[in-house]
Each structure stands twice: as C-alpha cells, then as structure tokens.
A and B are shown apart, each in its own frame.
Chain A
Amino acid sequence: MNIIKNCPIIESKSQTAMTLINESIEYIKQNALPKLNLIWLEATGCSGNIISLLNGENPGLYFLLKKMVNLKYDNTLSPSQGEKAFEEFLDALNTEFILVVEGAISLKDGGLYSIFARYKGDIITSAKAVKMAADKAKYILAVGTCSSYGGISSASPNPSDSISTFDYLNDKTVIRIPGCPAHPDWVTGTIAHLISFGMPLLDEKNRPLMFYSLTVHDGCTRRSFFNKGIFAKKLGDLECMFKLGCRGPVTKTDCPNRKWNQYVNWPIGDNTPCIGCAQETFPDGMEPFIRY
C-alpha cells in the first residue's frame, strides 16, 4: 500500500479523467461560449423535422433552448403569431444567427404555394423569407431531405415547382442534413459544433462527415447475412432484406449505431427495409420501397 501511495504515476492515473473533466467544466464556465441566435424557418414541408427535434435526447430540446441557442423564431414553436411574429423575425435578422431551413422552396407562381406571413397587406412567400434570412445568416443549415435535395416536396410530378434550399441558395455555403425526418442528434450535433468549433468537416455533398460518413449497409446488424448470401424472402424474416429492396447500400447515415426514438430501435431492427430517406433521389429514385 505504501508503494502505491508513493508512486506519482498511479496516483495521477486515478485522477486523470476527473482532472480533465473538471478542467473542461472550469473552462466552459470561465470562457462561457456565447449563445447564438437560431432562426428555424419552415418552407414547403411537413414540419416533420421540428417534431423530430422535440423528440431529441442527449441533449434534449430543453438543453438546446436553455444552454445552446436563443430560438428567435420558429413557425411552430414561436409564442407570438401573425404580424407580431413576423416583426420578431425581422428583429432577429439584425443579430448574429444560425439559419435552419426545413422544407423545399416552392417557386411556381412566384412562390405563392408556400406563404410565410402576411405583413401590412403584403404577402411574404417562403422563398422571399428564406432569401432575406440567408443574406444575413452566419451559418445556414438545410435540415431534412426536402431542404437538402428536394425530397417529397419536389417529387414527380412536382406541382409546386419546388427545389431544394441548397439549390435555391446556390451562392452560399449550406450544410445539408438530409433525412426524413433528420435525426435530432444530427441537428443538435451540428449546431453544437458550429457554436464551439465552427464549421464541421463536410463531405462532397456538404453533409457533416461525423454523421454521414458510412452507409447504412456498412454498419447494418444484418450485414453478415448479406456477405454469406442469405436473404429474407418476405417481410418479418430475420435475414438481410436486400432482395426485398433495401436501400441501405446507397444511403449514408449512422442509423444502425445511433438508432431512433431515444435510441430504442431503427427500421431494420423492426424488420422494415431501409427506404433511403436520406438519399439524394428520395422518394422517386428509391421506389419501390418493398418488392417481392
């Protein structure tokens, strides 16, 4: 016992982790990172991504709103409504903020298929609001497949002439966070990275590498069945669902490791083939979702 007590290495070993944690907590307390403002705009979409965000855990929505960002405007969560809400949006534009856009941008008939607000008799279309905010935003995030690639909003025959936010703001750096809906961790994780370290590493399609570097197939729990050529014949079978039309091999997300709904389960864990919701050509190019 005496030797252990005298040895500085062993003593420091048992303290290293704790020291590091305490140091980082101190660092955060002293150099309190400024809370950034956040504007969350809904264009031509289904509000699915904000609903998905409400379901977040580690960190949850409460932590996000309290510790990470000031949510200045959101179509769904803002307490005010009507012209007052739009005024709040205009005020927020004069600050430094992160812009999150969910939903595609409808362009037909001057964008009249997606109205953002009515202000003093004028109709403000979503396209116009997104442009206004994007001109002043520090960072722009396209959350959801519609916003990133066009998705369901611009699926054939595309009656509203929708295009993705990424294409609409083609002169700006837009981070794509595809997924239908996007996982809350992908959104909060990217925002956290923007706050603390700035721009995350992006791949060639502007997706954060930390969430979109591997395909679903790479991390699939049924991958060994694929390698051995054992395939499910119908839904409910426990083998690889590749022959039923699984889109895992062409879809880049970390679903197999991260899982959904408080990390409980994910589609393939529930005997459903991956439908490629985070894929560029979703939904037209990913059809048929099941084939047998």
Chain B
Amino acid sequence: MDKKELSILLKECYKNIFNLKNMLIYTQCPIKRTQIEDEILFEINKALYILEDYTKCRQREFTIEELSKYDGSLGNPAYIAVNGIVYDVSNSPVWGGGTHFGAVAGVDLTSQFEKCHKGDLTKLKNLPIVGTLKV
C-alpha cells in the first residue's frame, strides 16, 4: 500500500463517519441512535486497522547483528533501539557522527536511556521509527 491508496481509504472512512455523525444529530429514537453509534465505532476501527497495516509494511524487524551495521560510521545510517523499537538518529542534531554523550549507535540502548533520561519518552517523539527489534 502506498501513500495515495492510504489517503483514498482514509478519506472514505472520514466521509462515512461525517455522514453518520450528521444522521446522529437528527435522530431522536434511542434504538436507532445506538445503531448509528455502533456504525461510527466500526468506521473508526476500520481506519485504525488501515493505519496499522500501512505502518507494518513500512517497518522491518532487526536482529541485533543487523542493527549493529547501522552505527553511523562511514556514512552509514545511525539506528538505535529503545524498548524494542528501532529509531533513526542519523539526522538528529544531538547524534553527531552516530555518537551521543558516550553512547554509540547500532545497539540496544534501553538501559542507558532509562538511566540518563529516566524513561522520558518525549525525547524519542520526533525521531523517525524504522522498525522493531527481534528478541
């Protein structure tokens, strides 16, 4: 699935939800209302599944050995793993040369992250996710 297909599918979902919402406003019957509400929830679920499918096919699973190739040296991309998720830090300003305050890219840095950032996940918020770590 590419970006174009995704946007078409999501737009369809959005349109359905919009119509159902309008219907809900003008419906008095409580039974009919629950029916419409159920339909809205179904549409939301559908949209979430579409998004999940899309992110899954973009991501890949890394083993520790595969991850170690992406250490930021010799122009390689710099990837790090935290809590099982692999992030791309190649263009993060604080990761000059694939290193960051003594930490080197290409490894699982979960324990160091916990120690230094006290599990503050907002630090990872802006990093692109490239995959998951295979345990």
Binding site for B on A (CB under 8 A): 217, 226, 229, 231, 233, 242-250, 273, 281, 284-288, 290-292
Contact = CB atoms under 8 A, between A and B. Distances in A.
B116 to A, nearest CB: 10
Contact of B94 (A229, A249, A290): A249
Given A229-B91, A281-B102, A284-B102, A290 B96 contact: no
Given A243-B72, A291-B73, A292-B74, A281 B101 contact: yes
B84 interface: no
A250 B99 contact: no
B75 A233 contact: yes
B35 to A, nearest CB: 53
A285 B102 contact: yes
A150 to B, nearest CB: 14
A88 to B, nearest CB: 43
B98 interface: yes
Interface residues of B, number: 13
Nearest to A247: B96
B113 to A, nearest CB: 15
Contacts of A273: 96-97
Nearest to A244: B97
B93 A249 contact: yes
A249 B91 CA distance: 11
B102 A246 contact: no
A169 to B, nearest CB: 26
A249 B75 contact: no
A232 B98 CA distance: 14
Name the residue in B72, B73, B91, B96 with the highest tally of chain A Cβ atoms < 10 Å from its Cβ: B96
Contact of B97 (A217, A229, A285, A290): A290
Contact of B75 (A243, A284, A290): A243
Interface of B: 72-75, 91, 93-94, 96-99, 101-102
30 contacts: A226-B93, A229-B91, A233-B75, A242-B93, A242-B97, A243-B75, A243-B96, A243-B97, A243-B98, A244-B96, A244-B97, A246-B97, A248-B96, A249-B93, A249-B94, A250-B93, A250-B94, A250-B96, A250-B101, A273-B97, A281-B101, A284-B102, A285-B101, A285-B102, A288-B99, A291-B72, A292-B73, A292-B74, A292-B75, A292-B97
A247 B93 CA distance: 9
Contacts of B97: 242-246, 273, 288, 290-292
A61 to B, nearest CB: 35
Nearest to B102: A285
B79 to A, nearest CB: 14
B103 to A, nearest CB: 9
Given A217-B93, A245-B98, A247-B96, 19 more contacts: A226-B93, A233-B75, A242-B93, A242-B96, A243-B72, A245-B96, A249-B93, A250-B93, A250-B101, A273-B96, A284-B102, A285-B102, A286-B101, A287-B102, A290-B97, A291-B72, A291-B99, A292-B73, A292-B97
A281 B96 CA distance: 15
Nearest to A245: B97
A284 B98 CA distance: 15
A245 B91 contact: no
A30 to B, nearest CB: 50
Contacts of B72: 243, 291
Nearest to A240: B96
A244 to B, nearest CB: 5
Nearest to B76: A243
A63 B72 CA distance: 48
A272 to B, nearest CB: 13
Contacts of A229: 91
